[in-house]
Amino acid sequence: MLEIHPSYPALASVAEKYPTHRGSLFQTYNDILLAQQWRDVQVIDLARCKRGAIQGRRPRTAADADLLLHIVPCSLAESISLAWIQDVFAALANPPSIYLAVVSDDSSIVYYKLSSGIVKPSI
Amino acid sequence: MSSGKSKGPNKGGARRHENDRIYAHPLPLIFSDPSSSRTRSILGLLGLSRSQVINPHCEGYYDPSTRSVWVVNQRDSEILWRRGFFGKGNLSRSEPSWFVRQVKDRKSRQVDSGANKMTSEEIREKRRADRKQFKLDRAAAIAKVAAEAETIFETEGRVVVPALFGPEIPSGSTWKSKTAESERESSGSLENAESKREDENEGEEEEELLEDMEHLQLTLSEAFFLAWNFDCLTILDPETACFDEPLSLPEIWTTFQQIYLAPPIPTLPTPELQLDNPFLIHYAVYHHYRSLGWVVKNGLKFCVDYLLYKRGPVFTHAEFAIVVCPVYEDPQDQEVSITNLRNASPFTWSWLSTINRANSQVMKTLILTYVTIPARSRLSKEMLKTPACFAHYSVREVIVRRFIPARMRD
């Protein structure tokens, strides 16, 4: 069903390569592109982690609008270890932080921000 | 919270009446009686009724990648949401409102609109912006008081302890959104309009026909509940060759279970149906609470499996948070199990404490729902071919409340 969705072509290559994670990638891509309205949204292939990820920038009106941010989708059924998280950071060339998108089967997505190292609270 | 809820054109009572009208039916099926009230009362005395069941006959497509059923048709989407709060818009917080938000966005770019009725996403953004501003104001006030205490000490030598509360420091109840709502909206929208007009002139702002990219997504439990109990949902399989074939109930029953049993290597045959399939466990819980009248929604945001609403998300916040704990009647079954069931082993105290704390913070009561999986030795394989196997599953609840002996004396 998701193959015939208009947004599928942008994901097709990565989705075909890792069919188990197709659903969460599709869900997250649509949420980021259409609902959150991020700019310069692209799907990237994390071969080392055997899944796809998404990169993009926040809408122009947001804070940090020019930062390139990375989002890694995963589903509620998976279990995630520290090694997994470290792999993801390494595969993305060690950005200061990444977003983990946990997708549920009713299309709810919860985003977690994971930073490498200690981060001071903003306020 | 602080500035008081924004009361737009639908203040309190009017909004409640409108909600009562729109969400009047708790289920997709409606009973209607064409006869006059006199005929109805006469027939009623005899125990008869001419009321008919009106079935909306909705359609949905089964999608194995997202393990859900998609309702693409707008009429069906609306009916399923409004009559029972089934499903969730995949680009929205609850009801599919993406298209409406896009249209509004476009309109506000062209015309400076005043305060119209906001979608729930817009209300949420406004609430977050207000809270951020409140925190900034409070931090500034606290810093100011501390600085004053410093100067007093330097000039007069008197020690004043800077207060963290008090008349000068805004608290949740006293803080008011600095600029009036309308001012902020008009200045905000002016800024947005200006910057967006610039974008339009610079880039290629395609104001082409907007296509609705959103659908209503039903979980497998919801879809099965509607199809099996009310026969008001037809589930189509988009993979079939020429045109979409509706799945029969037995096919739905097996397909929904097999999706969880899919082998890691596609060439291996699908294993046979199991008693501890996550679909069976979750459906048992879903059906249990729905049949008691609760509206059951996903609880991902609160670290739990389900949230129970008394009437619906539109009316009040969820009062209960459900964590599903499957229990095997026969412990041996657990050892040979091929499905990886969550929470099938007891969880640690720290985890239970965490979930309880997270939910008490948002004023929800945590409920542990134990589902007993019948022993394989007791049930034959034939039982799994129909939902009749549910008679052998039991659902029990345990409510968890934190007890603080020093404070709770009543």
ipTM rounded to 2 decimals: 0.92
Q: Of A4, A22, A106, which is closest to B68 when you measure between CB atoms?
A: A106
Distance from C-alpha of B178 to C-alpha of B210, rounded to nearest angstrom: 37
Q: Which of B117, B317, B381, B385 is catalytic?
A: B317
> Would strands B58-63 and B233-237 be described as parallel, antiparallel, or unpaired?
parallel
Amino acid at B29: L
Collect all residues of chain B within an 8 Å Cβ-Cβ radius of residue A23: 63, 65-67
Residue pair B119/B97 in contact by the 8 Å Cβ criterion? yes
| B257: Cβ contacts below 8 Å, ≥ 6 apart | B273, B274, B277, B279, B280
B300 touches A at CB < 8 Å: yes
Q: Of B70, B91, B219, which is closest to A31 when you measure between CB atoms?
A: B91
B274 touches A at CB < 8 Å: no
pTM: 0.82
Fill in the DSSP letter of residue B398. Answer: E
Do residue B298 and residue A108 have CB atoms under 8 angstroms apart? yes
Collect all residues of chain A within an 8 Å Cβ-Cβ radius of residue B96: none
Please give chain B's pLDDT, 410 residues, in tens: 444 454 555 567 888 888 899 999 999 999 888 888 888 888 889 888 888 899 999 999 999 999 999 999 999 999 999 999 999 999 999 999 999 999 888 888 776 545 556 777 888 888 888 888 888 888 888 888 888 888 888 888 777 777 777 777 777 777 776 544 444 444 444 444 444 444 444 333 455 677 888 999 999 999 999 999 999 999 998 877 567 778 999 999 999 999 888 766 667 777 788 888 999 999 999 999 999 999 999 999 999 999 999 999 999 999 999 999 999 998 888 888 888 788 888 889 999 999 999 999 999 999 999 999 999 888 888 888 889 999 999 999 999 988 777 777 76
Active-site residue, B5 included: no
B218 touches A at CB < 8 Å: yes
Do residue B301 and residue A105 have CB atoms under 8 angstroms apart? no
| B282: Cβ contacts below 8 Å, ≥ 6 apart | B221, B305, B324
Residue pair B83/B77 in contact by the 8 Å Cβ criterion? no
Do residue A31 and residue B70 have CB atoms under 8 angstroms apart? no
Other Cβ atoms closer than 10 A to B259: 18
User: How many C-alpha atoms does B96 have within 13 Å on its Cβ side?
Assistant: 28
Do residue B301 and residue A1 have CB atoms under 8 angstroms apart? no
Of B364, B327, B356, B331, the C-alpha closest to B342 is B327
Question: Chain A: residue nearest B129 by CA?
Answer: A62
End-to-end Cα, chain A, rounded Å: 44
Distance from C-alpha of B350 to C-alpha of A61, rounded to nearest angstrom: 40
Distance from C-alpha of A78 to C-alpha of A105, rounded to nearest angstrom: 13
Do residue B135 and residue A107 have CB atoms under 8 angstroms apart? no
Question: Chain B: residue nearest A79 by CA?
Answer: B342
| B69: β partners | B62, B218
- Taking any CB pair shorter than 8 Å as contact, residues of chain A touching chain B are 1-2, 4-7, 19, 22-23, 26-27, 30-31, 34-35, 60-61, 76, 102, 104-108, 110, 123
B89 touches A at CB < 8 Å: yes
Distance from C-alpha of A28 to C-alpha of B281, rounded to nearest angstrom: 27
Active-site residue, B288 included: no
Q: Of A26, A30, A110, which is closest to B301 when you measure between CB atoms?
A: A110
Distance from C-alpha of B118 to C-alpha of B130, rounded to nearest angstrom: 16
Active-site residue, B57 included: no
Q: Of B61, B214, B222, which is closest to A1 when you measure between CB atoms?
A: B61
Q: Of A6, A34, A105, which is closest to B67 when you measure between CB atoms?
A: A105
Residue whose entry in the numeric block shows the structure tokens 């393990």 = B67
pLDDT tens digits, one per residue of A14-71: 988 998 899 999 999 999 999 999 999 999 999 888 999 999 999 988 888 889 999 9
The 10 Å CB-count burial string (b at 16+, else e) for B336-370 is ebebebbbbeeeeeeeeeebbebbeeeebbbbbbb
